[in-house]
Structure 1
């Protein structure tokens, strides 16, 4: 058996090698307060019944959190999934402006493919929808979206819902410009705003969707954001 100090180190290491949001996912599945995970990482104070969930979510063998013979290097779980469990989503080199102006549309953007679990897409209700991934540029949507984050959105969902993030389009100097902004459905109409308005002088105030000078077109609803953890 591991002593508490080594168990705490291994838990912290497993989380550090996992995607952003893993801790929150573990807390939800274990039905515990997210702050309880701090005790796991600092004191090794984990209820052993949570180890299978921790292992699965972090991609480790359960024995890694129990057996000293299992090391960091040989702790990865053997995947039992196949490509049939994943859906390919087209990723474009196209940027979307978060601040410092919009990102002009790129007519022949290079493409690549990102894989998403079909079960995750199905739970979200967007499996087999026309999905795409663009990449954020700027800082006016921090802390929600950071510069360089991947942004998955559904191009078939353009119905505006209050408080939801959307990829939108506005006229630019030469080509259309893309942004990601948060919708505000008010009595006066539909507006789009930045989460961090000080990050971009042109988005210090919300902009009206039906503006006569700069009308806004909704391109799709944002469903997933991926980026580096701090």
Structure 2
């Protein structure tokens, strides 16, 4: 089955409409319609769609395994029988790339403002992060357009807290309502949720909305650097 067929089956089982699913995950109905009709063959919204429908993302993406977890896996924890020890191999920048690896630039001195953060717009450190090609393919991103940045501030907490690292696709600059983007505004690089509004306006939203209320800006005053496709969070 195709992605479109699997999504139609899952939606039919729970009796959800395209508009209701779109509202649940914060995208437009047109986005869901394109997936359902097969006009979009891959999407960055697989995880939120799977969560909203209570199905396994592996099944939705590739048809792997069962559509839903078995009853034992729905409990809080992992069965001991499924734990497999995998050796951890350390590496450094001198190690050659594996066949399924690419390096992307990590602009460590450029901080994305998630609150009252600051920004330095030049970076000469040459830091790199390693990504699997499969991970980038999952988001429909090409390595040459991927880049990573540290986040400064708590406006996107608790989803993207201070000190997180976000990875963006610089080739994805078209705004999809509810998507997370790195933007350039008022001489700052910022990471925010974006929503288009009539009249050429843009709502700039933070996850921490209680401390950082919505902002409205003219869309032509905001430069889209790229869409966030991945983020990593340290425990402390």
Report the TM-score range of the alignment, normalised by the length of the smaller protein: 0.5 to 0.7
2:194 pairs with 1:179? no
CA distance, structure 2, for counterparts of residue 179 and residue 127 of structure 1: 22
1:6 matched residue in structure 2: none
CA distance in 2, matches of 1:159, 1:210: 12
Q: 1:34 to 1:206 in 2, by over 3 A?
A: farther
Aligned to 1:136: 151
Q: In the superposition, relative to structure 1, how do residues 103 and 36 fare at CA in structure 2: closer, same or farther (>3 Å)?
A: farther
2:166 to 136, 140, 151: 151
- CA-to-aligned-CA distance 1:1-47 (integer Å, 9 cap, x gap): xxxxxxxxxxxxxxxxxxxx9xx9xx5446444995463638x4x7x
**For residues 36 and 161 of structure 1, what CA distance do their matches in structure 2 show?**
37
* Superposition deviation, residue 109 in structure 1: 4.7
From 224, 227, 233, give the equivalent of 1:227: 233
5+ residue gaps, structure 1, are: 1-20, 61-74
1:97 Cα deviation from its structure 2 partner:
0.7
User: Gaps (5+ residues) in structure 2?
Assistant: 1-46, 59-64, 90-96
TM-score, normalization by structure 1:
0.62
Alpha-carbon separation, structure 2, partners of 1:96 and 1:195: 15
Alignment of 1:196 with 2:200, yes or no, is no
Q: Deviations over 1:128-161 (max 9, x none)?
A: 3411100111111122211111100112221111
Q: Secondary structure at the match of 1:198?
A: coil
CA RMSD of aligned residues (A): 3.2
Q: TM-score, normalised by structure 2?
A: 0.60
Matched, 1:41 2:57: no
Q: 1:209 aligns with which of 218, 233, 236?
A: 218
SS in 2 for 1:120: helix
User: Would the aligned equivalents of 1:129 and 1:154 in 2 still touch at CA under 8 Å?
Assistant: no
Residue aligning to 2:38: none
1:218 positional shift: 1.1
Q: 1:119 to 1:189 in 2, by over 3 A?
A: same
Counterparts of 1:229 and 1:116, CA distance in 2: 21
Instruction: Please identify the structure whose Cα radius of gyration is greater.
Output: 1
Q: For the residues of structure 1 that align with 2:219 and 2:70, how far apart are their CA atoms?
A: 42
Would the alpha carbon gap of residues 41 and 159 (structure 1) be closer, same or farther in structure 2, given more than 3 Å must change? Answer: closer
